[in-house]
């Protein structure tokens, strides 16, 4: 094996632990409906890059995903950029009051919601609700 192949393979192997936490899907109009029609359980994260509460929620969500791979495997996570979609039809229809709102959907039902909470136990409870719906 030559040096170039070795370096490429080593870089790829080093990236594997980070691939376990796949990035959430970025919201675009129609994406939520597409996944709900497919029977997926959807976890919406209304967030903004500048929001410290959102950043804390994201750290908790990622830690929980690391502890239980089923979250990532069975739930569709979608990030909704508040600055771009905070006044969208989706946000209005769902009565989303602010960024840092987390919502779980299945079919045509909202299964749970957290607004501006960063408690690991509360976020875990919401993710467990989503996981329960996804595996029912």
Structural domain that includes position 47? 23-135
DSSP E strand stretches across 16-100: 25-26, 41-47, 75-81
In a domain, 86, yes or no: yes
Which of 121, 124, 119, 130 has its CA nearest to residue 76? 130
* Helix (H) or strand (E) segment spanning residue 115: strand 109-115
pLDDT, tens digit (0-9, with 9 covering 90-100), for 75-121: 999 999 999 999 999 999 999 999 999 999 999 999 999 999 999 99
In a domain, 6, yes or no: no
Q: What CATH code is carried by the domain that includes residue 70?
A: 3.40.30.10
Count of domains for the chain: 1
pLDDT, tens digit (0-9, with 9 covering 90-100), for 47-75: 999 999 999 999 999 999 999 999 999 99
Helix axes 52-67, 120-135, angle to 10 degrees: 50
First and final CA of the chain: distance in angstroms? 48
Q: The tokens 């980070």 sit on which residue? A: 18
**Is residue 108 within 8 Å of residue 36, measured between CB atoms?**
yes
């Amino acid at each position: 094996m030559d040096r170039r192949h070795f370096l490429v393979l080593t870089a790829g192997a080093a990236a594997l632990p980070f691939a376990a936490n796949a990035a959430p899907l970025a919201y675009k109009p129609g994406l939520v409906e597409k996944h709900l029609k497919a029977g997926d359980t959807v976890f919406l994260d209304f967030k903004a890059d500048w929001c410290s509460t959102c950043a804390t929620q994201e750290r908790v969500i990622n830690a929980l995903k690391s502890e239980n791979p089923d979250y990532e495997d069975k739930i569709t996570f979608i990030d909704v950029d508040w600055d771009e979609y905070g006044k969208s039809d989706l946000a209005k229809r769902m009565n989303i009051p602010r960024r840092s709102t987390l919502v779980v959907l299945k079919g045509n039902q909202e299964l749970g919601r957290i607004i501006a909470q960063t408690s690991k136990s509360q976020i875990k409870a919401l993710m467990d609700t989503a996981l329960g719906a996804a595996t029912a």
